[in-house]
Amino acid sequence: MIEPRDTQRDVSGATGSARPVWSVAGLVHAVADTLASRFAAVTVKGEISGFARAASGHCYFTLKDSDTGAASMRCALFRRAASMLDFAPTEGALVVVRGRLAVYEPRGELQFVAESMQRSGEGALFEKFLQLKAKLQAEGLFDPSRKRALPSHPRRLGVVTSLGAAALHDVCAALARRAPHVSLTIYPSLVQGPDAPEALVNAMLRAAQRNEIDVLLVCRGGGSLEDLWAFNDERVVRSVAAFPVPVVCGVGHETDVTLADFAADHRAATPTAAAELAAPVTEDLLDELAALAQQMSRRLLRTLDSHAQRLDAASLRLSRPSQAMRMQHQRLALLGLRLNAAPRLACQSQAQNLARLAPRLTRAAAVVGLNQAQRLDSLDARLQALNPRKVLGRGYAWLTTDSGQAVASVKQLQPGAQLHALLGDGDADLTVQRVIPFEVKPLKKT
C-alpha cells in the first residue's frame, strides 16, 4: 500500500472527511519506491531502437517488443555497465537486458536501468533488412560497376524529401552557401510511415519523367531503423537503382545505413553532405577560372612577345635595304662562280671516266671477239658434220629419177629406166639394165 509522504487538508475545511492530496514529487517518489521494491531485478527481451551513446559514456535506447512492436520502453545503460559489454549494440538487434525499473523524476517517465545486456539473435526488422540486402545484391543492384560519376558542373539538382523535414533546410542552406548558381527542384514526398515507400517511388517517377535535373538527392534526417525503413523498401531501392541520372543518397546520420545507400551512385553521411557532394563550391570554381585566365594571359603575352621580336627583326632588315642588296649581290657572285666552274669540272670528271673506261672497253671487245670466233668454229664443225657430201664421199650415191624423185626402193625401178646419180665428186646419168630385189627373211621369234 502506498502511503502519502506529503498530505494537505481538504480545501473545504472539513476535518472529518480529509482526503490526502499528493504533491508531484511525493507521488513520483512513491511510485519509484514501489517499482524499486516490486521490480528490483527484471530480465526483459526486446529489439533495440534508437541506440545512442552520449559523450559521458552512458547509452540510451528504446527496447521494443520484437514480435509486434506494439510496446516500447526507454532504457538507460550507464557507462560502467556499457564498458562491460562484449559486443557493439546495433539498430534492430534482439537482446536480453537485465536491470531494474525506475522513474526518471525530472520528467516523471518510466525507464529501465540496464545493468547487463546480452545478444539474443538479430531483431526481426534487422533480419528482414539482411535478407532483402542479400537478394538485391545477388541481382547486381549494388554492383560498383553500375555506379555513375557525378557531373563536374551540374546546373540543376533535384531533391526528394519532405517539405517539412529539416533535411530540406540543410540542403538548401548548403547550396546557398556553396553553390548559389545551382538551381534546386523539390519533389516532395513522405519519408516515414507505411505510405512513405509509395510516395518516394512516385516522387522519383515524376522527377524522371520531367527530365530536368542533372543529379537527384534523396534525403531525410536521422532516426531509428523503423523511422528509416521506407528507404529499405524494395520498391524504393529499385527506383533508386533505375533512376536515369546519378543519385546521391543522404539518409540519416553518420551511422545510419539503408539499402537505398547501396543502390545509389554515391552515399553521403547526411543531407548536408549530399548537397556538398553533388555541387562544387562556387569559390573553388571561380579560383579555377581565375587560374585558367592567368595561364591564358601568360601564354598570350609570350605569343605577343615572340611576334614582336620577329617584327623587330623584320623591321631592322627593312630599315637597311643596302645591306640586304649587298648580301644578295655577294650571294649571286658566289653562285656565278660556282656556275662557271661547274661545266669545266663536269668535263674533267667525264674525261677521267672515259680514260678509265677505254681500256676496259678494249679488253671487253677483244674478249667478245674471241668468244664469237670460237662459237663460229664450233657451229662450222657441226655444220660440216651434217653435210651430205661428206657421206657421199665414203662411197655412197644419191639416186633420183628424171623427174627428181629420190629412189629409195628397187620397186621404183624398171629395166631401161634413166636415173641420175649424185656422187661425192660429181654427177652421172645411168640406165637400169636389170632389177634384182633382195629377199627379206622375217626374223625368227625366240
Specify whether 162 is located in the same domain as 91.
no
Is residue 122 predicted with pLDDT exceeding 90?
no
Specify whether 75 is located in the same domain as 205.
no
pLDDT tens track for 58-90: 999 999 887 666 788 899 999 999 988 878 888
Whether pTM > 0.85 for this model: the answer is no
Let me know if residue 61 belongs to a domain: yes
Non-local (6+) Cβ contacts of 354 within 8 A are none
Task: Give the model's pLDDT for residue 266.
Answer: 93
Going 398 to 404 to 405 to 407, the CA torsion angle's sign is negative
Specify whether 138 is located in the same domain as 223.
yes
CA–CA distance, 428 with 409 (Å, rounded to integer)? 19
pLDDT tens track for 351-366: 888 888 889 888 888 8
Sheet holding 215-220, edge to edge: 183-188, 156-161, 215-220, 247-251, 266-267
Residue 399: all three cell numbers together: 639416186
Specify whether 114 is located in the same domain as 135.
no
Let me know if residue 319 belongs to a domain: no
Domain that holds residue 202: 128-142+155-280
Provide the CATH number for the domain around residue 111.
2.40.50.140
Region 31-46: mean pLDDT is: 82
Specify whether 159 is located in the same domain as 196.
yes
Query: DSSP 3-state assignment of 208?
Result: helix
Provide the CATH number for the domain around residue 216.
3.40.50.2300
Number of domains in the chain: 3
Specify whether 67 is located in the same domain as 134.
no
Specify whether 107 is located in the same domain as 230.
no
State the Rg of the chain over Cα: 61
State how beta strands 72-77 and 427-431 pair.
Answer: unpaired
The residue among 243, 239, 247 whose CA lies nearest residue 216 is 247
Which of 127-141, 205-219, 408-422 is predicted least confidently?
408-422
Question: What average pLDDT is seen over the chain?
Answer: 84
pLDDT classification of 179: cutoffs 50, 70, 90:
confident
Contact yes or no for 434/417 (Cβ under 8 A): no
Contact yes or no for 42/100 (Cβ under 8 A): yes
Let me know if residue 65 belongs to a domain: yes
Domain boundary among 241, 261, 280: 280
Task: Give the model's pLDDT for residue 442.
Answer: 67
Let me know if residue 443 belongs to a domain: no
Contact yes or no for 279/178 (Cβ under 8 A): yes
